[in-house]
Structure 1
Amino acid sequence: MTSIQVADQTFVAAAPELAADVVGDRASWRRWWPDLRLEVVEDRGAQGVRWKVSGPLTGTMEIWCEAVLDGFVLHYFLHAEPVAAPPAEPRELTRVLADSNKALRVAGKVMSFEVKDRLERGRAVGAPATARSGTA
């Protein structure tokens, strides 16, 4: 088991194929995870992206966009290990890992809410999902 384990999901009321431009925007990656270096392992277009992660962490990260109803569920996964030597004292190690996990969970939620906000912009609450490009 890895020290950093993040798994989250957010429903986005927008056509799944609209996710590709937002999730695939490399400039956004730097804003969402400024200290991580991401190497694309698999660009799956509307279904998301898988990365190899380096920098202060080494591991893997993924955004998976799963078509559900008239929108999609954005799943965010991060499995990694810190590169820095861990604190020797068990209580401090626990605190450091808990703080890191929390910070990365928050970064993931910021990312998913930005994707949601961008793709649902202009959609009235309770209205159908934002349509595909070029459709009504």
Structure 2
Amino acid sequence: MKLWGVTSIQVADQTFVAAAPGSAADVVGDKASWRRWWPDLRLEVVEDRGAQGVRWKISGPVTGTMEIWCESVLDGFVLHYFLHAEPVEALPADPGALMDLLADLNKARRVAGKIMSFEVKDRLERGREVGSPATPWSGAA
């Protein structure tokens, strides 16, 4: 059973990063990190928005779209992560097996997104004491 107009894998997540919004571009735009964060996906940049993030068309075991949007909030930014995709492999006909598989695929993509967002947060907040102002932007992350 498939709902029309809704992708099987839907991820929407957000993480506050206490760092200057301008610092996001170097970390989020680092192609070497993309390979580490999503080793099984082929990413085609659809829109590079610098400090505001990146949008991709994705292919591999799943196909669809993915986005990191960095929204300025207070003295930092909220890193939004979105993924909308369909598995490439044939899906089981049994409704129970289908729901189990889709739940597993969604969880795996959510975990990958959280690993990415926590790495961005860790890199950009490095050296910042809890409760202190956001890490300023030095021009390189």
TM-score higher than 0.5? yes
Q: CA deviation at 1:55?
A: 0.7
**1:10-54, Cα deviation, whole Å (9 max, x unpaired):** 000000110000000111111111111100000000000000000
Alignment of 1:111-126 (within 5 A): 111-126=116-131
Alignment of 1:88 onto 2:88: no
The 2-side partners of 1:12 and 1:52 are apart by 25
* Counterpart check, 1:3 vs 2:12: no
Q: Which of 28, 50, 55 in structure 2 is aligned with 1:45?
A: 50
The answer as to 2:32 corresponding to 1:27 is: yes
What's the TM-score once normalised by structure 2's chain length? 0.94
Ranges in structure 1 where 5+ consecutive residues have no aligned partner: none
User: Quick check: 1:128 aligned with 2:115?
Assistant: no
1:110 aligns with 2:115: yes
Structure-1 residue corresponding to 2:18: 13
> TM-score, normalized by length of structure 1?
0.97
The aligned amino acid for 1:120 is E
Q: Secondary structure at the match of 2:131?
A: coil
In 2, Cα distance between equivalents of 1:132 and 1:24: 15
Provide the rounded CA distance (Å) in 1 between the counterparts of 2:35 and 2:104: 21
Question: How many correspondences in the alignment?
Answer: 134
- How far apart are residue 112 of structure 1 and its match? 0.2
Deviation at 1:62, TM superposition (A): 0.1
Cα RMSD (Å):
0.7
| 2:83 corresponding residue in structure 1 | 78
Instruction: Provide structure 2 residue ranges, at least 5 long, that are not aligned to the other structure.
Output: 1-5
CA distance in 1, matches of 2:63, 2:137: 36
Moved more, 80-89 or 111-120: 80-89
Matched, 1:56 2:58: no
Amino acid paired to 1:69? L
Residue type of the alignment partner of 1:57: V
